[in-house]
Amino acid sequence: MSAVQSAVSWEDREAGENFPVALRLLPARHREHLHAVYGYARTVDELGDSFVGDREEALIRFREETSSIWQGAASGVGPSTPVLRRLAGTVRACSLSQQPFLDLIEANLQDQRVERYQTFEDLVGYCRLSADPVGRIVLELFGQSTPERVALSDKVCTGLQLVEHLQDVGEDRHSGRVYLPQDSLGQYAVAEADLDAATAGAALRRCVLAETDRAEEWLKEGAALVGQLSGWARVAVAGFAAGGLATVAALRASGGDVLACDTRPGKARTAALALRLLVRGRA
């Protein structure tokens, strides 16, 4: 059985994301391309999180096969894994760069070696590999990538990654990882053992809410990107940013108790925030 075949099916996880992966409003061609990118990203994550065996080796093999999409373009020799064959069509149709895809693999390789981040800045450095490449791919996919837009996209994607880490504190702890910065845990007198409880204590709730505030700042700054885009790209990116902001609201509504509460945002709230971002961007 191949590394990819043994990973958990990425399709099962799409419905639980904070943001609409391929908004129903988008034309079919854009939805197909976004699904191809999402399938790749989820496969990489599952190899890093759930593969039974040597995960580093599996990721390195997948990296080599990923590179064949670009290296094999001239020779006609491409990948054999279905998710990569699907991605290859999107890469060709949209002239996508290779590096963001390799960065996503590098983030998962880092996960095999690094389980704690001392400072918020260290965590943001990880997000540059684990989250920001997705936004860069999306901008290229819609043909609207510029240095200024990439900088704003990075803020949105880092914000999305930060709120996801906050939602998954218990799950990540169970897998041996802690994405709350160590200096934040120390500032609020949170012991790592507190992350094993069924309900978050007062100190952990304060820490989570403070980190939620930081994530919101990144999302709000990055949301200015919506106003710089045109066409369907505006709709897609508004959906991503709105998903992050809706998650911020859900985290606050939980009082920071991410161990006991479901902090997935409601679809109605996400849609309302996306519409607000679209209207604001047009203004």
Helices (H), 131-230: 132-141, 147-167, 169-174, 182-187, 202-222
Q: What is the pLDDT of residue 266?
A: 86
* Percent of the chain whose pLDDT exceeds 90: 82
Average pLDDT, rounded, for the chain: 91
Number of structural domains in the chain: 2
In this structure, are 157 and 276 located in the same domain? Answer: yes
Q: What is the pLDDT of residue 124?
A: 98
Of 88, 113, 138, the domain-final residue: 113
Q: Residue 198 is part of a domain; what is its CATH number?
A: 1.10.600.10
In this structure, are 95 and 120 located in the same domain? Answer: no
Angle at 146 between CA 145 and CA 150, to 5 degrees: 80
Tokens representing residue 243 in the block: 């998903």
Phi, psi of 274 (to 5 degrees): -65, -45
Q: What is the pLDDT of residue 72?
A: 72
Average pLDDT over residues 191-216: 98
Q: How confident is the model at residue 281 (pLDDT cuts 50, 70, 90)?
A: low
User: pLDDT tens digits, residue range 105-163?
Assistant: 999 999 999 999 999 999 999 999 999 999 999 999 999 999 999 999 999 999 999 99
In this structure, are 102 and 146 located in the same domain? Answer: no
pTM of the entire structure? 0.90
Residue positions counted in the chain:
283
Q: How confident is the model at residue 26 (pLDDT cuts 50, 70, 90)?
A: confident
Q: How confident is the model at residue 73 (pLDDT cuts 50, 70, 90)?
A: low
In this structure, are 137 and 203 located in the same domain? Answer: yes
Q: What is the pLDDT of residue 75?
A: 58
Of 113, 130, 157, the domain-final residue: 113
Of 48, 79, 113, the domain-final residue: 113
Q: What is the pLDDT of residue 258?
A: 98
In this structure, are 120 and 217 located in the same domain? Answer: yes
Domain that includes residue 12, residue range: 1-113
In this structure, are 274 and 136 located in the same domain? Answer: yes
In this structure, are 60 and 188 located in the same domain? Answer: no
- For 142-178, letters b (16+ CB in 10 Å) and e give bebbeeebeebbbbbbbbbbbbbbbbbbeebbeeebb
> In 10 A of CB 14, how many CB atoms?
15
In this structure, are 121 and 105 located in the same domain? Answer: no
In this structure, are 146 and 243 located in the same domain? Answer: yes
Q: What is the pLDDT of residue 23?
A: 65
In this structure, are 135 and 68 located in the same domain? Answer: no
Q: What is the pLDDT of residue 78?
A: 78
Q: What is the pLDDT of residue 74?
A: 58
In this structure, are 211 and 128 located in the same domain? Answer: yes
Q: What is the pLDDT of residue 2?
A: 47
In this structure, are 127 and 159 located in the same domain? Answer: yes
Q: Does residue 10 sit in helix, strand or coil? A: coil
User: pLDDT tens digits, residue range 244-277?
Assistant: 999 999 999 999 999 999 999 988 889 899 989 9
Highest mean pLDDT, choosing among 6-10, 48-52, 114-118, 270-274: 114-118
Q: How confident is the model at residue 235 (pLDDT cuts 50, 70, 90)?
A: very high
d(CA 103, CA 7): 19
Q: What is the pLDDT of residue 21?
A: 47
